Amino acid sequence: MPEIIEITDLSASELDLYARCTETELLRFHEPDEGIFIAESPKVIARALDAGYKPVSFLLERRQAWGPARELIARCEGVPVYTADFEVLTKLTGFPLTRGALCAMRRRALPEAGEICAGARRIAILENVVNPTNVGAIFRSAAALNMDAVLLTPGCSNPLYRRAIRVSMGTVFQVPWAFLGKKAADWPRPGMDMLREQGFKTAAMALNEEAISIRDPRLAAERRLAVVLGTEGEGLAEDTVADCDYTVRIPMSHGVDSLNVAAASAVAFWELGNQPGKTAAE
């Protein structure tokens, strides 16, 4: 039977994870060991559990504990389940819960970037994408549109921040990902060197005179391709573009010169992803 605990004291220390810890504090919660993240909504929590992440506790709207989330908590015997009415939970967390369910879960050690690239043909690289909403949207597109992995430079927002997880609909638990080092100097070198050693060609999504159309057949013919996307507003750094094998643009109309990075990623992944029925030159 689940251990369901009615919330009577909003200041209880057991609720700090949900109410009083920032994303940075959660990330460092067990330092030097891995930290904590918060998964939101039953579907997202289920995907995290399916991926093997370990729950610490649940925070559920009362009707969820005996309804849609019942199967989830049945999978997590002995994990405390804190519950109250929707209005109480909103007051506690400061925001309305998506489908009335949160779960605090333990992070785990990330693989090395080279490890997740080893069996991949198409990967996405995010350079300093700082908005968690964009990071989550890019992961959702990567999962849906046949990208094998996502690599992030150290300046990117963490994919396990609550908003990124929620926007991704839990696909951050389905697409392999890693950071390209721990400091800014790790990109574009030695990250670019690692990609070349693994046989990847790199395609910078950028606007300049040398850019080729995303429909250029040379791109689809590459056996292994990394699609490189830049930060909101400024795009990719000049050094990154110069180091890439291709500079690629998305043809546009009506005088529009660029798309939001999340929208651009969906177009790029659809056109260049490792799609069933599409073959790449070996």
Strand partners, 101: 60
Distances (CA, A) of 84 to 60, 93, 255: 7, 12, 52
Q: For residue 176, what are its two tokens?
A: 């392999």
pLDDT at 280: 40
Which parts of the chain are beta strand (E)?
3-6, 36-40, 55-61, 80-84, 101-106, 122-126, 149-152, 177-179, 201-205, 212-213, 225-229, 246-249
Residue located via tokens 């990208």: 147
The bridge status of strand 36-40 relative to strand 101-106 is: antiparallel
CA–CA dist 63, 79 (Å, integer): 18
pLDDT at 281: 39
Strand partners, 178: 151
CA–CA dist 24, 57 (Å, integer): 19
pLDDT at 1: 55
pLDDT at 2: 64
Q: Which amino acid is at 222?
A: E
| CA nearest neighbour of 235 among 252, 221, 248, 216 | 248
| CA nearest neighbour of 229 among 160, 162, 137 | 137
CA–CA dist 208, 262 (Å, integer): 20
End-to-end CA distance of the chain: 54
What count of other Cβ atoms lies within 10 Å of the Cβ of residue 71? Answer: 10
Residue 231: DSSP 8-state? B
Strand partners, 84: 61
**Average confidence (pLDDT) per 10 residues, the chain, 282 residues:** 82 92 93 92 95 95 84 92 89 80 95 94 97 98 97 97 96 97 92 96 92 95 97 91 96 87 96 63 40
pLDDT digits (tens, 9 = 90+) for 44-53: 999 999 999 9
pLDDT at 282: 40
Residue 86: φ, ψ to 5°: -55, -45
